[in-house]
Amino acid sequence: MALGIGLGLISNSFSAIPTSGSALFGFGATILAGATMGLIGGGGSILTVPILVYLLGIPPVLATGYSLFVVGLSALVGSVNYFKLGLVNLKAGTIFAIPAFVGVFLARKFLVPALPLEIFTVGSLVVGRDLIVMGVFATVMILASVSMIRGGSEPEKEGELQFNYPMIALEGLIVGGVTGFVGAGGGFLIIPALVMLAKLPMKQAVGTSLMIIAVKSLFGFLGDLGNQSFDWGFLALFSLLSIIGIYLGTYLSRFVPSAKLKPGFGWFVLIMGLFILAKETIL
């Protein structure tokens, strides 16, 4: 019965979705974003909000809610594959994830709804909730790109697991807050923390990152249920495309070293972040 309901939702969404060129490109880009997350354990989710806002016409605040669900579900699927391969460290993930739950839930439940729709205007520029969300999101993209570009060529560090509990927990809280505010998974922050603070090998950090992203993103989405009205048919279709992408990326990760992909993807994210800032404030 549950399967029939799910298929019905997807079927209805196909009849209602836009078929313009930008919309079709947006759905194709969704698969690419999922594949990127499967390949490098993060990064792909940071494309979800721009896809929803600029290609599919979803309002920014609602787009961050959609993104939390899609990113969380996609990461959950990807983490299962890594778990089967023994590449998920439950201890490090738990230490990081618990404070992250607190950060993401508080941001979605209280911080985002508290932002006024309009604070002030400068000429034709309206400074309010949408501009703040997209501005912070673009800033996060730029910071993420720097992390990917710099970290992409660094050799993998392996060693005895030595957990820095306070620092792992603090970064979990911060990443959780960022995740809740902008709707991105935060893998670009989680992976360096797991490598540097928990001394996890890169592949294990990727798998653990996906588990953390899955749980905290879906937990943050719960904070939106009372504040937003969702099109569940559209969300089902969008999630399905993202899951297809992450299966593709997880499969390709067996053959393509993630370290070689990160710098190039980082430059792409940097350009996207600068474009969003320009579009929201100048264009």
Cβ contact 71:187 at 8 Å: no
Task: Give the per-residue pLDDT at 14.
Answer: 47
pLDDT of residue 45: 64
What pLDDT sits at residue 116? 79
For residue 18, the model assigns a pLDDT of 53
Task: Tally Cβ neighbours within 10 Å of residue 267.
Answer: 14
pLDDT surpasses 70 at 161 = no
Burial-class residue 116 by CB neighbours within 10 Å (0-12, 13-18, 19+).
exposed
Q: Compute the distance between CA of residue 190 and CA of residue 198 in angstroms, rounded to an integer.
A: 11
Instruction: Look up residue 227 and give its amino acid.
Output: N
Residue 158 clears pLDDT 50, i.e. is over it: no
Judged against a pLDDT cut of 50, whether residue 156 lies above it is answered with no
Cα-based angle 172, 174, 177 (whole degrees, multiple of 5)? 105
In this predicted structure, what is the pLDDT of residue 152? 47
pLDDT at 93 over 70: yes
Contacts of 19 (CB under 8 A, 6+ apart): none
Q: What is the pLDDT of residues 116-129, one digit of tens each?
A: 778 777 777 777 77
Residue 6 has what pLDDT?
45
Higher pLDDT among residues 273 and 3, named by residue = 273
At 21, the pLDDT band (50, 70, 90 cuts) reads: low
Q: Which tens digits make up the pLDDT trace of 211-229?
A: 888 887 887 787 777 677 8
Query: Which pLDDT tens digit goes with each residue over 54-65?
Result: 888 888 878 888
What percent of the chain stands above pLDDT 70?
A: 79
| Tokens read off for 180 | 């809740």
- Please check the confidence at residue 209 and state whether its pLDDT lies above 70: yes
Spatial contact of 30 and 243, defined as CB atoms under 8 Å apart: no
Coil/strand/helix, residue 125? strand
Separation of alpha carbons 46 and 43, rounded Å: 5
